[in-house]
Amino acid sequence: MKLAPVFLLSVLLAACSEAPPPAAAPKLVRTLTVGSGGSAADGADRSYSGEVRARIETTLGFRVAGKIVERRADLGQAVKAGQVLARLDPTDARLQVTQAEAQRALAAADLARYRDLKAKNYISASALDARETAFKAAEAQAALAKNQAAYTTLVADRAGVIGQVLAEPGQVVSVGQAVFRLAPDGEREIAIALPENEVSGFKLGQAAEVSFWAGSGPATKPLTGRLREISPVADPVTRTFAARVSLKDADPLLPLGMSATVRFPTGAPGATKLMVPLTAIFQKGNQPAVWIVMQSGTPGGGADSTVSLQAISIAAYTDAGAVVVGGLSGGEQIVAAGVNLLTAGEKVRISPAAANK
């Protein structure tokens, strides 16, 4: 019975004499060298497809309701100011003019009789004033009916190109309903769509270079432009933001609908632009940064290296990665993945597969 305490004591002594667990090995990380392996961003300028549009597009419609009986303009047709584009059935308008003219004639005859009666002092001045007012109202109604009859003809208010036909003969249209969309001659610009993951990287007035897909002709000469407008609301179907790029020294008769490519240079001319993968970006608040692998205080890498956080400036995010224009000069070895698992000054081991990159 006395052996039990001795046995327990020996077990406790053996447990106390066990060696402490070995220290955790440095984390194994995958790295890359900035500026090598295709990570230079010389060709990382962002390009978007677009089409030539008029600076201002006018929607044309009748000022009265009615049934369209004639359409004289087709899609893509060039029209001049004052040219007839379409007509409504004028029957009702003519009847209204006839009725208004009859009312005006009756009011004029009554006014003439009342003036004769007033000259003989058979009626009061107030009775004559009432007839004067009635005649003016009938006269104004007759003029209004004539104007309404003229509105059954739709004319172009300026020279331009018919960009869209929205109604056809036989269709009954309401007041102001769109019948044509007219692109007036004058300033041209490029309409593009910006993806929602890139729209935050653009600013109004940003420089752009516009080139056209046409094979020949003066319209194919590259032009300079500026980002003039960005829609504040995304398209509900495509989830892109409509934008307009104004053109400098563009031909005012540049064909509408022509395909174009808009290129936005990233960074200032001559600035060092480097591409790093998105997985290498560590977001510290609103400041992007990367982990640089250091060996004895020098960028590089060895069996036991440490990591240091380096703030960077990003000009754009693309599918290929982030375009860095500040904070890196090229040649630094950075951590390419797992950046959220590291801390400043932590020792790491470089993956053999990445050691020679």
pLDDT per position as a tens digit, 22-63: 656 778 888 888 876 544 444 456 788 999 888 888 899 999
pLDDT in tens, 275-302: 888 888 998 888 999 989 886 545 555 5
Q: List, in sequence order, every residue forming a beta bridge with 229; answer none if it has no partner.
A: 244
Taking the C-alpha atoms of residue 203 and residue 315, their distance in angstroms, rounded to an integer, is 12
Helix (H) or strand (E) holding 140: helix 125-150
Q: Quick one: CATH architecture of 90-151?
A: Orthogonal Bundle (1.10)
Taking the C-alpha atoms of residue 290 and residue 321, their distance in angstroms, rounded to an integer, is 13
Taking the C-alpha atoms of residue 352 and residue 331, their distance in angstroms, rounded to an integer, is 18
Give the pLDDT of residue 42. 47
State which CATH number among 2.40.420.20, 2.130.10.10, 3.40.50.11140, 3.10.450.50 fits the domain covering 27-43+271-355: 2.40.420.20
Taking the C-alpha atoms of residue 11 and residue 83, their distance in angstroms, rounded to an integer, is 109
Residues 79-101 have a mean pLDDT of 94
pLDDT in tens, 223-236: 889 999 999 999 99
What CATH fold (topology level) applies to the domain 59-88+156-183?
OB fold (Dihydrolipoamide Acetyltransferase, E2P) (2.40.50)
In the chain, where the domains are located:
27-43+271-355, 47-55+186-264, 59-88+156-183, 90-151
- Top-confidence range, 10-19, 131-140, 325-334, 343-352: 131-140
Class of domain 47-55+186-264: mainly beta
Q: Which residue has the tokens 């380096």?
A: 310
